């Protein structure tokens, strides 16, 4: 009797572990490409929130509400769609890979812009430095030879 009880308990545990809940497809499922955009915005706003939460709060920006309004979705629709996609590993992996690729492209674009601005600043600084040198040279020549006209 004891062996049968242990056997039944093990069978029950293993069968319970094998059960996997798969949510039904929601009626208002967010399309995959839109889900990529939503998750990308969530990622960007989470980063911004982590870096400077005070500025977001001062401007009255609530990241979740902002994202829902921007994409014309509600929290329930997002949660149901996210659960549905997450239950299918391959599809969710495709979505997350697309998010990662989009974020990398955005970072590369940002890095290029920062580099262009730095290069432009260096160029302007070098022009300013040359103008300052010329001005000081004129002043020096005027002091050194006050009777001569300075070019």
For every one of its 151 residues, what pLDDT tens digit does the chain have, with 9 covering 90 and above? 566 666 666 556 666 555 567 788 899 999 999 999 999 998 888 887 666 777 777 888 777 888 999 999 999 999 999 999 999 889 999 999 999 999 999 999 989 898 888 888 887 777 788 788 788 778 777 776 766 655 5
Q: At what angle do helices 75-87 and 63-71 cross, to 10 degrees?
A: 80
The rounded radius of gyration (Å) of the Cα atoms in the chain is 31
The pTM (predicted TM-score) of the whole model is 0.64
CA distance 75 to 96: 19
């Amino acid at each position: 009797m004891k062996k049968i009880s242990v056997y039944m308990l093990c069978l029950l545990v293993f069968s319970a572990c094998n059960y996997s809940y798969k949510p039904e497809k929601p009626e208002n499922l967010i399309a995959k490409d839109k889900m990529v955009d939503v998750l990308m915005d969530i990622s960007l706003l989470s980063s911004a929130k982590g870096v400077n939460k005070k500025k977001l709060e001062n401007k009255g920006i609530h990241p979740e509400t902002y994202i829902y309004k921007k994409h014309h979705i509600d929290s329930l629709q997002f949660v149901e769609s996210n659960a549905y996609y997450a239950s299918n590993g391959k599809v969710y992996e495709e979505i997350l890979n697309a998010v990662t690729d989009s974020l990398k492209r955005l970072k590369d674009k940002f890095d290029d812009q920062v580099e262009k601005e730095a290069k432009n600043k260096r160029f302007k600084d070098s022009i300013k430095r040359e103008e300052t040198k010329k001005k000081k040279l004129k002043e020096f020549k005027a002091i050194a030879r006050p009777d001569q006209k300075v070019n």
